[in-house]
Amino acid sequence: MSSKQPFSGKCIIFSAPSGAGKTTIVRSLLDRNMGLEFSISATSRAPRKIEREGKDYHYLSVSEFKERVMNEEFIEWEEVYEDQYYGTLKSEIQRIWAEGKHVIFDVDVDGGISLKNYFGDGALAIFVQPPSKEHLRARLEGRSTETPESIERRIAKADYELDQAPKFDRILINDQLEEAKESAFEMVKSFLED
């Protein structure tokens, strides 16, 4: 769900099924000093052990999240799983553009589609695709941060998400991570220079 408000500037959107490698690719782009700033999403889910407030997410209670939705503080938001909301705060984009930087997003597939629809030609939407669902399962299991139940939930959702790939500007198959990072760099560089 989204609400319109005019902004100016460019956005890079990375979306993928959980475990496809989008976060690793986004971090590699941030390390390359391209004038990008990470858009920190808001979520109502609990932080994982390695995550920190204001760095990985803005953590809100379910009631706080719903209140901000009612106050139209989000560009887009989704209930990804029951009582697990994710969204992009307008204030986060305004902060980044005020610093003269381009926004880079690491969001779920529905969020990526909503952001692309919102920003239109001002955004490059890249879908990171795993080479197969088996690879996706192996990556999720290798994280050691997921429960067996959450892995099954994410794999079940991946079928739907993979079907959404044609709605993105570019599809990046993450078979070899270093090659995927370099391909992502070239895509983003070309878009920013255009």
Flag whether 2 is in a domain: no
Q: Give 181's Cβ-side CA count (13 Å radius).
A: 13
Residue 32 has pLDDT above 90, yes or no: yes
Alpha helices in the chain (DSSP H): 22-30, 62-70, 90-98, 109-119, 133-143, 148-163, 177-193
Flag whether 53 is in a domain: yes
Sheet containing 170-173: order of strands = 36-38, 102-107, 11-15, 123-129, 170-173
Flag whether 18 is in a domain: yes
User: Domain containing 100: what range?
Assistant: 11-193
Flag whether 75 is in a domain: yes
Please answer whether residues 136 and 42 qualify as being in contact, where contact means their C-beta atoms are separated by less than 8 angstroms. no
Please answer whether residues 88 and 76 qualify as being in contact, where contact means their C-beta atoms are separated by less than 8 angstroms. yes
Q: Domain count of the chain?
A: 1
Neighbouring C-beta atoms of residue 183, cutoff 10 Å: 17
CA 174, chain centre distance (Å): 16
Flag whether 6 is in a domain: no
The tokens describing 179, both together, are: 């090659």
Flag whether 150 is in a domain: yes
Q: What is the largest CA-CA distance in the chain?
A: 44
Flag whether 119 is in a domain: yes
Rounded to whole angstroms, how far apart are CA atoms 64 and 130?
34
Pick the more confident residue, 23 or 5: 23
Flag whether 3 is in a domain: no
Residue 126: φ, ψ to 5°: -115, 125
Average pLDDT estimate for 155-172: 92
- Residue 76 sits in a domain whose CATH number is 3.40.50.300
Predicted confidence (pLDDT) per residue in 74-119, tens digit: 999 989 888 999 999 999 999 999 888 999 999 889 889 999 999 9
